[in-house]
Amino acid sequence: MQTTGNTLFWHKATALVQLEKSDRTIVKIDDKQIAFFNTDDGIFAINNRCPHEGYPLIEGSLQGDCKLACNWHGWAFDLKSGKAIQGRDAVKTYPVKIHDGYVMVQIVPPDKSVLRTAALVEFDEAFAEHDYERMARAICRYEIAEGSLDAIAIHTVKVSLTTHERGFGHAHAGLADWISLAGDDNELRLVAFLEALGHFSWDTIFNPRTAFPERSLAWDQADFLSAIDAMDQPLALSLCRGAFEIGLGFADIRPLLLEQNFRHYAGFGHPAIYLAKAEQLLEYLGNEIEETVCLLLTRYWCIAAREDLIPEFKQFGDLLAVSKNTEDILLPQPEILCEMPQRKLLPLVDSAAEEDMEKWESLLAASAICMLRFDTARQDIVDQPIAQNVGWLAFTHAITFAESLYFHAERDPSLWRSGLLQQACFIGRNSRFLTQGPTIINATLPDATDFFAVQKAALFNMDAGDYIYSVHRLKMVSAVEKLVKLVSHDTSKLLISALNKYLSSPLRQKHPARTILQAKATVSRE
């Protein structure tokens, strides 16, 4: 019963005499179960549901100093404050008073903003420890308190400026894909945000805290590009800050990063992928993270490996350095393309007579065939040099890169030439790891609509191990779903069959024996 006036929100809970007969009782008021404990220090009321997994605290063990231990997993709470003495989340407490022989309890409607603040504090604590279940509870509490999940994501992306030493990465890209995948479905959004933010948390644990330069420098495009080329991260970041100081933003930085990226083969195709995902992320989360995203991208651009400088891919830069010379030749069938070593493939791709989009699709089909013919047994070989190490991700990146190339080059056709050569780099590299014989397409797969419906639903309950592996599954499903709408029926069948093989094949995450053998070989040459 609720009383009003100067006894606002006080409820008559139970007769005092009742509680004196025992050390506890439980009363249901509105939709809440309130547990009352009669201790040497007085009567205390707390929510009956343990904040850990919801088991009833009325069954708990009273200890000295107003301490109650939950008997399910040992969390213990201070009955006065509700704080967890053992465990993590606090339990809700309620003021109690005695009036006319009755125990009265005050249940004040919660202030949602206070609840949101508390949930965010909890989230940050759980994030720092990668306490996955606690992160889930904090996200749910925040959402119940009418907090927007986007706000937690914005908060997390901002924090990543100091926690992600490599800048924009798979966690950021995955966040964009997760948001897209969940759409407007609130239940799916909860899962998506948990998984996406869990990935940020995981990265944070393994990265040292990273200081970003606070200073800004007067913006200059040429200086910015030179700083990235020189891998001078502090200078590039300060210039990026300078750009925002004069009101510039992602729309101004993006073309420069794009230009710089497509002048090189760097980061195993990741810069192009990340830039597309960054744009998507900004569309979802808004300009509150615009500067952070640009700084993170700049940081990644400065540290991305420069593969076009290593002998294997030097030909890429050599070709781009001279004018394009189109010849009266056509690319062979994708089955042939996928077997060509890159020293032959790159000049052929550069000079073939087809339109860029035709070449793009041929190379995409060849990349799908590479996946279908990937000799997965190579993942298990122990005694081999590092240069022979290969796994699924070497193949999937050829597909996700192709998707991002289309995204960028459709708007800026000058990017096609470099992008097609990069596609050829992926294929040439992977051609060493294929099985002999014909390409086997799985003819029993459902049509594209049903296939993607099943695979997308499965992503919300996957257990693919480390986040890096689950985010690649997500990235591939998302990329192939977009790609099949752009290509011929035959290429579409190849892509879906390749994706299916990837999703249903074992994927090694560790190679203990190989790792130590290769480490020994490395250090023995020091």
**Residues at the interface with ligand FES (CB under 6 A):** 50, 52-53, 55, 70, 72-75
CB of 141 to ligand FES, least distance (A): 16
Provide the b/e sequence for 261-294 (b: ≥16 CB within 10 Å): bbebbbbbbbbbbbbbbbbbbbeebeeebbbbbb
Q: Tell me if residue 86 falls in helix, strand or coil.
A: strand
Of the pair 43, 70, the CB lying nearest ligand FES is at 70
Distances (CA, A) of 480 to 12, 360, 371, 425, 493: 61, 14, 13, 20, 11
Of the pair 88, 511, the CB lying nearest ligand FES is at 88
CB of 215 to ligand FES, least distance (A): 48
Of the pair 53, 355, the CB lying nearest ligand FES is at 53
CA distance 350 to 376: 30
CB of 50 to ligand FES, least distance (A): 3
CB of 28 to ligand FES, least distance (A): 20
Of the pair 75, 392, the CB lying nearest ligand FES is at 75
Of the pair 46, 70, the CB lying nearest ligand FES is at 70
CA distance 429 to 288: 40
Of the pair 88, 254, the CB lying nearest ligand FES is at 88
Q: What angle do CA 502, 505, 508 make, to 5 degrees?
A: 100
CB of 85 to ligand FES, least distance (A): 12
Of the pair 50, 471, the CB lying nearest ligand FES is at 50
> Residue 35 pairs with which residues in a beta bridge?
26, 46
CB of 75 to ligand FES, least distance (A): 4
Cβ contact 429:308 at 8 Å: no
The two beta strands, 96-99 and 93-94, are: unpaired
Distances (CA, A) of 109 to 103, 173, 325, 326: 19, 39, 74, 74
CB of 137 to ligand FES, least distance (A): 11
246 Cβ partners below 8 Å, 6+ apart?
A: 219
> Residue 394 pairs with which residues in a beta bridge?
none
| Long-range contact pairs involving 305-312 (C-beta distance under 8 Å, separation at least 24) | 305/266, 305/267, 305/268, 306/264, 306/266, 307/264, 307/265, 307/266, 307/267, 307/268, 307/425, 308/264, 308/265, 308/266, 312/342, 312/429
Quick one: residue 231, left, alpha or beta (phi over 0 = left, psi -120 to 50 = alpha)?
left
Cβ contact 75:86 at 8 Å: yes
98's enclosing H/E stretch is strand 96-99
Cβ contact 361:399 at 8 Å: no
> Residue 25 pairs with which residues in a beta bridge?
36
Distances (CA, A) of 4 to 7, 16, 97: 5, 21, 15
CB of 198 to ligand FES, least distance (A): 20
Per-position DSSP letters for 421-433, written without gaps between them? HHHHHHHHHHGGG
CB of 282 to ligand FES, least distance (A): 40
Of the pair 91, 498, the CB lying nearest ligand FES is at 91
Of the pair 70, 476, the CB lying nearest ligand FES is at 70
182's enclosing H/E stretch is helix 170-182
Locate 235 and state its tokens.
């200078």
Of the pair 73, 482, the CB lying nearest ligand FES is at 73
Of the pair 92, 166, the CB lying nearest ligand FES is at 92
CB of 34 to ligand FES, least distance (A): 17
CA distance 210 to 169: 15
Of the pair 50, 368, the CB lying nearest ligand FES is at 50
CB of 72 to ligand FES, least distance (A): 4
Of the pair 68, 319, the CB lying nearest ligand FES is at 68
CB of 226 to ligand FES, least distance (A): 57
CA distance 108 to 431: 68
Cβ contact 68:60 at 8 Å: yes
CB of 52 to ligand FES, least distance (A): 3
